[in-house]
Amino acid sequence: MTELKNDRFLRALLRQPVDRTPVWMMRQAGRYLPEYRATRAKAGDFLSLCKNAELACEVTLQPLERYPLDAAILFSDILTIPDALGLGLYFETGEGPRFRQTVRTAADVAALPELDSSVDLDYVMNAVSTIRGALNGRVPLIGFSGSPWTLATYMVEGGSSKDFREAKKLMYSQPEVMHQLLAKLASAVTDYLNCQIRAGAQAVQIFDTWGGALSSWAYGEFSLAYMKQIVDGLIREHEGRRIPVILFTKNGGQWLESMADTGADALGLDWTTDIGLARQRVGDRVALQGNMDPAMLYAPPGRIREEVADILARFGNGSGHVFNLGHGITPDVDPAHAGAFIEAVVELSSAYHV
């Protein structure tokens, strides 16, 4: 087992002392980097890039060569599980992900196969182990999955949606069918993340991208309950270390207390929640990750630095903060502006860890 040279990220997630606030970016390996675009062109298309362990490793490491980041995140997609279930994932230019088959009836749910991630998603595990080896202890590797609710929305809708009409129609008119689907997905996600941990992931994040589209009671019943099932079923110790778990519900700031009750180690925040108020609400029960508006990276570097300073001040002194954007970095951001953001965190945060 290679010794981890920089464990700042893992320590912060467990609210242990650190010398400065760790920082990484959601979608840090992505289209804003010219070197990523070159590797993707070499792969041919996005899915081919995800399924090639060497190229997935290459793009995962690219942002680490540019910036003093404290974590790497597996390069993959949240829709690998529905794809492995046989729904036929493909990407339409300008339209995002699409599925050739949808899941809208009890018969559709019953027809879904049981997933064995070590076999059905072996290309993801190959990527995890390849990346972990290439990192050689430089920084920790984050594994991830979409949440059951978020995966279900794509499976029912057949792709992206603005109003989740079909998913909500199924949820409200046939709740038992939606629960059957979510139960299958919770089992699949648990297995998927545990396989990633065994392959070398040192922390995992559950992306509940569309949980914020639900009402409060529906969020508790159809999203949070299944994320808690996953947290309960995850490997929490591996290679002699705690495996921290991060829950991130976009637009979920009103549910932080309930999210903290799941047993997760950290909660991701988007930019609509004040991180200082969030810290007051959850206390020392969980760490917090976030939460600068990704659009702030369009601002001049001086303004970006001011925003970083403000967020650090709002969180205040002590550990338990992982600095991140409130969602993924957008494709047309100037890489130099991303660099200004990361450098500001590195330079300004040590004052809060004296």
Question: Pairing between strand 141-146 and 266-268?
Answer: unpaired
- Choice among 40, 66, 242, 314 that is catalytic: 40
31 is catalytic: yes
User: Is 191 labelled as part of a ligand binding site?
Assistant: no
Q: Is 77 known to sit in a ligand binding site?
A: yes
Give 114's Cβ-side CA count (13 Å radius): 2
Phi, psi at residue 325, to the nearest 5°?
A: -80, 160
Is 30 annotated in some ligand binding site? yes
Q: Is-catalytic flag, 236?
A: no
Q: Is 209 annotated as a binding residue?
A: yes
The response to whether 29 counts as a known ligand-binding position is: yes
Find out whether 146 is annotated in a ligand binding site: no
**32 among known catalytic residues:** no
Residue in 27, 98, 241, 314 annotated catalytic: 27
> Pick the catalytic residue: 7, 70, 77, 120?
77
**Is position 232 annotated in a ligand binding site?**
no
Residue 138 annotated as catalytic: no
37 is catalytic: no
Residues 6+ apart with CB under 8 A from 6: 70, 138, 139, 140
| 80 known member of a binding site | no
Q: Choose the catalytic residue: 36, 154, 192, 219.
A: 154
Q: Which of 31, 37, 66, 138 is catalytic?
A: 31
Angstrom distance (rounded) from CA 305 to CA 349: 11
Say whether 67 counts as a known binding-site residue.
Answer: no
Which segments are annotated as binding site for substrate? 27-31, 77, 154, 209, 327
Which segments are annotated as binding site? 27-31, 77, 154, 209, 327
Catalytic residues: 27, 31, 40, 77, 154
